[in-house]
Structure 1
């Protein structure tokens, strides 16, 4: 059996909840221990998986390329940042022309502004061009996973739910509303596509 650490499962979350996940923690003092972002619905996240529309990209690097991408799902916006240490993702951002459907697997990153706000972003491991069907399936599956976390939040009383309850002041119902919004948005898009008149 290998001693190599296995990769964490990439968790699904909508942009609104992900952007609220400003609390990070480690579960050991080991220097190489994974850093987790805590979702307000009570799930720890070391890697995230999401899909949406790349609406804009910009090279914000000074000496080297450093790309910022803005990717929108039905609830809000994910910001991804890729540079020399994420060459494949950076190349994808360089070459893609918005708007484009993409799926992203990456690591959550937090950054505290001078004003004391915490911005949450993603350092992408991979960015893949997808079609509308893949994006739509992601919305439906993410809605289901979010509802599962909300349901478990009250009944399960896991240590992460307790931690989220302590760290965040967001009502858990916010995320149930986001699920409804995302599914209604998807339904409206599908109806519009079916009836182009």
Structure 2
């Protein structure tokens, strides 16, 4: 195993609705090679993400060379995935896959600010793999669990900020603090997304 693989950041499981709201990025040191993180609104950081959904559309949006865009849909929204000459394997999957198809994507979050000031969030994929429906459903359940864990930690931290116990020091949660300062969306929104995502999987299983 290479040194790069040993130090590679864990890929966070995150639903599209939260991922697309993760418009603030930051580094934790001034080293130009320091990893870049997206700040998740539920109070965590993500250098890499792991998503599974339905690849519904692909398009070569490149001008001078191939640059593929894919739309990967989960029960809460859409991940936009872009791959070009520096991601040849991922680009070939987007080029060759007949849609719709279930896919898993591991990659890095990227932000782009438009002329009107809107910040769009996308994934630069390291890998894209064709998967089956059972894999998609399992990802939804596991991502729901991870999201709820983050929400509960955020809310526990928030409760301590608002009503700290007498004589105690409220626990620190620097990413929750950053999220509260940077974002307007209450974390309760993502709890609703979790419920809808799980209901979507149950509906699929009921009609199978």
TM-score relative to the length of structure 2: 0.90
Correspondence for 2:174? 159
Correspondence for 1:180? 195
The whole-number CA distance in structure 1 between the counterparts of 2:129 and 2:150 is 27
Correspondence for 1:75? 76
Gap runs ≥5 in structure 2: 158-171
The whole-number CA distance in structure 2 between the counterparts of 1:190 and 1:79 is 27
Correspondence for 1:170? 185
Number of aligned residue pairs: 192
Correspondence for 1:192? 207
Gap runs ≥5 in structure 1: none
Shift of 1:154: 2.1
The whole-number CA distance in structure 2 between the counterparts of 1:142 and 1:192 is 22
Pairwise CA RMSD: 1.1
The whole-number CA distance in structure 2 between the counterparts of 1:61 and 1:153 is 40
Shift of 1:63: 1.3
Shift of 1:3: 6.6
Correspondence for 2:67? 66
Residue deviations 1:56-104, cap 9 Å, x none?
Answer: 0000111111000000000000000000000000011001010000000
TM-score relative to the length of structure 1: 0.95
2:156 is paired with a residue of what secondary structure? helix
1:1-197 pair list within 5 angstroms:
6-156=7-157, 157-193=172-208
Residue deviations 1:5-37, cap 9 Å, x none?
Answer: 700000000000000000000000000100000
Evaluate the alpha carbon distance shift between residue 166 and residue 59 of structure 1 in structure 2; reply closer, same or farther with a 3 A threshold. same
Larger Rg: 2
The whole-number CA distance in structure 2 between the counterparts of 1:21 and 1:63 is 30
| Runs of at least 4 residues off by over 6 Å | none
The whole-number CA distance in structure 1 between the counterparts of 2:24 and 2:3 is 29
